[in-house]
Amino acid sequence: MRKTKTFKIEGYDQTFEVKELRVKEVLDFFQVTTESTDIDSFKNQIIDKLLIKCSNIEFDDLLEMTPGEIEEIWKHFREVNNSFFVMARSTGLQKMFQEIQKAIIKDLSTMFVSLSKQDMEESSSTGLISSS
């Protein structure tokens, strides 16, 4: 039976849920390419292929969260997928996971920098930021 975990994050009315990954979801995830720096491409590849299938968390929810709140979600995700992570470590997939983790962090960093640039440009064009 597929494990699930329901939890609350302080400051949110919403109840969050993460689910144990199925083998087909893991295989779909490994078919992802993380070379693109385009936000929509990243969202389509990582978020839609993995996050949406194993949780009730939307991409827009993540954009409004702090890193600490995302860490809370990750903690629960690891908990319900512990068997998968144990098997991955014992079969030597740990190195591959580390590379995937690095790629995701790089893509998230690029995405947030891009969003910050967009916000700065919009603020500048609306006169919210002065160039003096």
Over residues 54-91, the pLDDT tens digits come to 889 887 888 888 888 988 988 998 899 888 878 777 77
Phi-psi group of 66: left, alpha or beta (phi > 0 → left; psi -120 to 50 → alpha; rest → beta): beta
CA 12 to chain centre: 18
pLDDT score, position 92: 67
The tokens for 97 are 């996971």
Residue 109 has pLDDT above 60, yes or no: yes
* Helix, strand, coil percentages, rounded to 5, for the chain: 65, 10, 25
Q: What pTM value is reported for the model?
A: 0.60
Closest C-alpha to 28, from 5, 52, 50, 58: 50
